[in-house]
Amino acid sequence: MALSAYLSKFSRPIKVIAVWLALVAWLVSTDPRKLPIVLLIVPFGLLFTAIFLTFSLIISRFLPHTSQAKRRLEAGCIAGLPTFLILLSSVNQLTWRDVALVAFLSIFLLFYASRARFSS
């Protein structure tokens, strides 16, 4: 198999692994107490991206007939839930009501995505 065909076949899993490695490298190599405030958002973006790409890959592998728009919405809902909860927890604003509200909104969006018809 040619190198370009091999890379194109595994480009999405390679991207997923690269984002997870970038997240781990960021968390291991930085001290949040010494970072500027703007850079404190980076791990949340990396976490969302890593979970999003992982679930997008899983959905495309196990449900290959799912449209790209539906796959993005489902992966976004799944990735947004833990990312938002960790974000609230990091600023000491996480309560059980927040968990219930975010879980309800995610379930509602996933239900909507399962019923909606996307043209893509």
User: What pLDDT digit, counting tens, does each position of 6-36 carry?
Assistant: 667 788 899 999 999 999 999 999 998 999 9
DSSP character for 23?
Answer: H
* 80: nearest Cα among 58, 110, 114: 110
Q: Please give the structure tokens belonging to residue 41.
A: 């958002």
The pLDDT of residue 1 = 55
The pLDDT of residue 6 = 67
Domains of the chain, by residue range, sit at 13-28+37-115
The pLDDT of residue 7 = 67
Task: Indicate if the pLDDT at residue 3 is higher than 90.
Answer: no
Task: Please answer whether residues 16 and 53 qualify as being in contact, where contact means their C-beta atoms are separated by less than 8 angstroms.
Answer: yes
The rounded distance, in Å, linking the Cα atoms of 105 and 90 is: 21
The pLDDT of residue 119 = 63
* Cβ neighbours of residue 9 closer than 8 Å, sequence gap 6 or more: none
The rounded distance, in Å, linking the Cα atoms of 32 and 67 is: 39
Q: Which residue did the predictor score with more confidence, 1 or 19?
A: 19
The pLDDT of residue 16 = 94
Would the pTM count as exceeding 0.75?
yes
**pLDDT tens digit string along 55-110?**
999 999 998 888 888 888 889 989 999 999 999 898 888 899 989 998 898 888 88
